[in-house]
Amino acid sequence: MALAIMCSGGDAAGMNPAIKKFVDEVYKRGDLPFLIYDGLEGLIDNKIKRAHHHDVANILHRGGTVIRSSRSKRFFEYEYRKRAYENLQQHGIKGLIVLGGDGSFRAMERFSSEFEVNFVGIPSTIDNDINGTDYCLGFDTALNVVRDALDKIRDTASSFNRAFLVEVMGRDCGHLAIISAMASGAEVCVVPEVEFQSEELGKRLADEVKNGRNYALAIVAEGARKTTEVYNWLQDVVGLETRVTILGHIQRGGNPTVRDRLMAFDFVLLALDHLAEHTDANKVAVYQRGCFKLIEIEEVVSQKYQVPQRYLDAINHLD
């Protein structure tokens, strides 16, 4: 049986370990692995190639994705989805694994409703914002990249009477920001899901500054769209000279952590097991309460991801 794997949307550390495991395991099972390059765009343009072991040698430790990814406006048009399906048929591909996020799975839901596409999605995004799963590939690596940056920023912040405001990624989700704030000992965390209690927090920090506090660290999720507001608040209300750092795309890079390598291993095995037994899978592999399972694609795309309440509550306990 011919099986293929592709990446879609933003890249995430953990994709390369998943790609390597896919190729090695498919060969081990006596099937034929294919790689789809450049995501949905590559699927449309027939950038589909038979995979060999040398294609995935020495990639386990690398961030990003060796088969690249894309976001595709063309895929919104039926004629291009039809072309993508015909390309799969041309290569005799009977099963597809898609490494991607919410937008990618919405595209696959539409695709599979129109054509006989047998796929399993593996949640892969540093935002960790896919409904139905507690974990997405790339999240732990991104957290460690952010943690390393914040530790270094705190070093210089403590050397001056300054506050440092750090904007992190996460799209419209504050999960990355909250965990980063907890792990770095930040005093302030601003996310889309929780109202910024500027008056109460500002009074407390201003009093602490008067009593000897000489620096502070604030983490702002990009989706909150409050970087400028928090910057002005730190200077004018809290009373600390403030510097802003936008971490940007370094959060997507870096060697995959042990956790992301292991999660990729288990996600791929689960997906391949299901594809081997079903011809109309259309599922998403998820991790819930310590267990791996498969759920319907409709369940994933029908609701918005909710950050666990215990993490939202943690914002009130930052010092």
DSSP string, 222-263: GGG--HHHHHHHIIIII--EEEEEE-GGGGG-SPPPHHHHHH
Q: Is the pLDDT of residue 168 over 90?
A: yes
Report the pLDDT value the prediction gives residue 307, as an integer from 0 to 100: 97
Backbone angles phi, psi at 203, to 5 degrees: -65, -45
State the residue for tokens 């791929």.
268
> Tens digit of pLDDT for each residue in 128-154?
999 999 999 999 999 999 999 999 999
Report the pLDDT value the prediction gives residue 272, as an integer from 0 to 100: 97
Mean pLDDT score across all residues of the chain: 96
Report the pLDDT value the prediction gives residue 278, as an integer from 0 to 100: 87
Query: Judging by DSSP bridges, how do beta strands 48-50 and 32-36 pair with one another?
Result: antiparallel
Catalytic residue among 127, 129, 140, 260: 127
Domains of the chain, CATH where assigned: 2-138+256-301 (3.40.50.450), 140-252 (3.40.50.460)
Q: For residue 76, give both structure tokens.
A: 């919104």
Nearest alpha-carbon partner for 115 in 88, 97, 90 = 88
Backbone angles phi, psi at 85, to 5 degrees: -65, -40
Report percent pLDDT > 90 for the chain: 95
CA 121 – CA 293 distance, rounded (Å) = 12
Q: DSSP 3-state assignment of 294?
A: strand
> Tens digit of pLDDT for each residue in 245-291?
999 999 999 999 999 999 999 999 999 999 999 888 799 999 999 99
Q: DSSP 3-state assignment of 171?
A: coil
Q: DSSP 3-state assignment of 286?
A: strand
Amino acid identity, residue 287?
A: Y
Nearest alpha-carbon partner for 46 in 7, 83, 96 = 83
* Full-model pTM: 0.96
- Do 140 and 257 contact (CB within 8 A), yes or no? yes
pLDDT band at 160 (very low <50, low <70, confident <90, very high): confident
- Do 237 and 208 contact (CB within 8 A), yes or no? no
Residue 155 annotated among the catalytic residues of the structure: no
Q: Is the pLDDT of residue 35 over 90?
A: yes
